[in-house]
Structure formats: structure tokens, C-alpha cells
Chain A
């Protein structure tokens, strides 16, 4: 592991003497940059970021998330989005015009949906929408949960990891920003996908992971045939 590029730091660790280096997960005090989080310090494009090793999902506008309907009110579906804050899906954000009384017919309690965060206000009221072709109810496949802090690693640089998995596993995989993942394919392919995602989750902080996973997949395939 490259010690200079990816150091494990704890909150309060001094990262830099130059306040302009301050990136995500850091703060500036007396012109010095300190870590706010327990995570991996990463210097890129002359900014130092600290990538957390744990933590909850905080919704932000534009994120695509996988939610589960937890309640239905007069004109909103209340959606659990694996976050301290619940999502609100207004009846008008459903792609089709529907009546209030018909709401449970389209999305009932426990249904999984893929939705986009339309807006988040300062009190963390989260509005969701289904108004997009890619979005909607998830009727097939499986939904699993990983720690939201592992999502960037599962996607990889420019989607390198996830594209490799999709191709090699012959599965449809979608990673929600909130740490929920939808997998659809043949049962045995999905089983393998779940196993691999679990490995990526526990080893997200190690380097050269994409190559190791690729190797692991190759061996699994040989074992199967």
C-alpha cells in the first residue's frame, strides 16, 4: 500500500500547512488543514480529501437512489432511502397521472423503487422523482445493501469496476448512491455477484482491488465450467 497517497487518518490529524489544500472531509483552523473523519487521506489535483471508511448516506440533489416505500399519505409516498432522512415521493412525480385512492395500486408498502433526488432543502426535506425513463419500480432481481461509503469503490474510476462486473457476471447491476444495489440476472450469476460485492465492501480500502477481483472472477469461472 502506498503510504503517502492513501494513509489512514483519524479526526484531528494535521494534513497540510496550506489552507488551499482543504478538500472534502477536512477543515481549516489557523491556516492549517486537519481531518474531520476517520478515513483514507487522498491527495488529488492539489486538494487533500479524506474518504470516510463508514458513515450514513446524506441525500444530495441529482443522486439516483434505491428506496423502499415505508408509508403512504394523502399525496405522498414516504420512502426509506437508507439515510437518517426519509424521502418524499409526491403523487405528481409518478410518470403517470393517478388518483390519490389508486396510490397503493402502483406503489405499495415494501415496493422497491429507483428514484432521483429532485431537491433537498436546508432542513433535509428530501423530494424524490420517478420522472425519467431509467427510473421506476423494481419488480425483478434482488436489492442488497452495502455501506454508502463503499459506493465509489464499487463503481471504480470512471466506472471501471462496475463495468467489469456487469460484463463478466452477465448481470444487470445498478448501484444507488445510498448504498443499495439492484442486481438482475440468472440466479447463479446473482449469487456470485453478491459474493463479489461483499468482497469489494470489506476490502474497499485496499489498492489493486479491481485486478484482484478480475482474477477472482476468472478462477470462479474455471471452477464452474
Chain B
């Protein structure tokens, strides 16, 4: 869907939003934002705003899905009807099924499911505002939420996309670049470089694909550092007695 010559994506080496080709959008990560969930994370990646919640391990319903030797992992990706310009018809559709499936498969390899037989780990990702790359944002948020829930994992998972506009490979494409560019290639990986998600939409030569992979991997590494920093920050910030004293309340304690 190239708009011939109407848009130029690069000007003096800078992109439409002022980024360099190998630069991420600004990322903001907040850990533990939902009190009912076992683990949660709110993440902004440019204009993407997503919320991830993790529940479990918990009992499996419906019962027939349960596995005797390991936990099952479920992932639900959902876009809010107000997350895009034209109202999105609420409810699951072909696209959200696909994103849920690939996201689950991006995270499941690192989760130690054998620790929790006959249980389920439920991951929910809600997209509040979409601006291209919501599946990568969702995976990044879910990975942080899983860690926050205390679920044993071999490593974290980070996800980032590479795109192609005006013949140039760019990191983490935003909406305009995704819609009117030539290709979009989201990946997810562990910090050691094992890829757990690789998709591509559009056309890339083998050489371009290799370059794109390289760019997206570098994006993942940067995102991993941010995820880690957000998790560590949470527990260095907390823990002064004064705050609790001033609160003078026993909220959060439930007498059964």
C-alpha cells in the first residue's frame, strides 16, 4: 500500500516523528498497577498504551483443559473499541486470535510450567490505545507482569519490530510507517538472542530481512534493559516506614 511519492518517510536522515532510523519510541513501564491481579504491568511504547495482567498458577476451568504434568498457559489479547481511530467492533476476531496465539507461543518457552501441574497461568493484555506494534508492546508488558507475579521463568522476553520505509530499515515502526511502509517484522526474544516470535508482513529481500532482524534484536536488547530497570526500581523505591505510618490504615488487610 505505497502512496507513490505522496509521503516521504525520511527527511535528512530523520523519521516523521523525529527519530533516527535505529531509535525506539519513548517507553514507559509501570509494574504492579492492578491489585487484584497476581502480577501486572502498564506499558507505553510511543502512542501504544497497553495493560497486562497475570493470574495464576490457579485451578483450570474448564477442567478438561488441565494437564497432569504441567501448567497450561493462556494468553488473551484484546483491543478496546476506543483504541483505534475507527471504532473497533468489540470481541475476539481473526486478528486477535492470531496475536493471542503467537504471543502465547512467544512467552511459553521460558515459563517453567512443570513446577505447577494441573494449573493454568492466565495472561491478559488489553490494548487501550493502538499505534502499530501492539503485539510487541503486549508481549513486553506480559513478560514484566509474569515476573511480577513471581512465576519462574528461564529469562525475560522482549519484543520489538523492524520495518522498511523508503528503502530504509527502521526500528519500531509507528502507525504511519506501518500502514504506508513496505514491510513490518515483529520479533520476540530472550536477552541471550533466542527468538520466540518472528512474523513478517510485506516484502523484504533476504539481505533486508537480515538487516531488519539485526535492528529488531538491538531494539529488544534496549527494551530488556528498560524492563529490568522497571522491575528493580519498584523494590528500591518502596520500603520506607514513614509512608506506612502516615497512611495509618490497614487497608489491604482483609479479615476473613
Contacts and interface: CB of A to CB of B under 8 A. Distances in A.
Contacts, number: 122
Interface in A140-156: 142-145, 149
Interface of A: 1, 8, 10-12, 25, 27, 29, 34, 36-39, 52-56, 58, 68, 84-86, 112, 122-124, 142-145, 149, 180, 191, 194-195, 197-199, 202-203, 205-206, 212, 216
12 contacts: A1-B236, A8-B231, A8-B232, A29-B154, A37-B150, A39-B150, A56-B58, A142-B255, A145-B256, A198-B244, A203-B239, A203-B241
B117 A55 contact: no
A34 B236 contact: no
A142 B255 CA distance: 7
Interface residues on B, range: 35 or more
Nearest to A54: B150
B147 A11 contact: yes
Contact of B147 (A29, A38, A198): A38
A2 to B, nearest CB: 13
Contacts of B231: 8, 10, 38
B21 interface: no
A203 B238 contact: yes
Return the 4 tightest CB-CB contacts between A and B, nearest first: A12-B155, A55-B150, A54-B150, A38-B147
Nearest to A39: B150
Interface in B147-177: 147-156
Given A85-B118, A199-B241, A10 B156 contact: yes
Contact of A124 (B117, B152, B232, B254): B117
Contact of B235 (A124, A142, A205): A205
A122 to B, nearest CB: 7
A3 B116 CA distance: 32
A54 B254 contact: no
Contact of B241 (A52, A143, A205, A216): A216
Contacts of A198: 244, 250, 252-253
B136 interface: no
A9 to B, nearest CB: 8
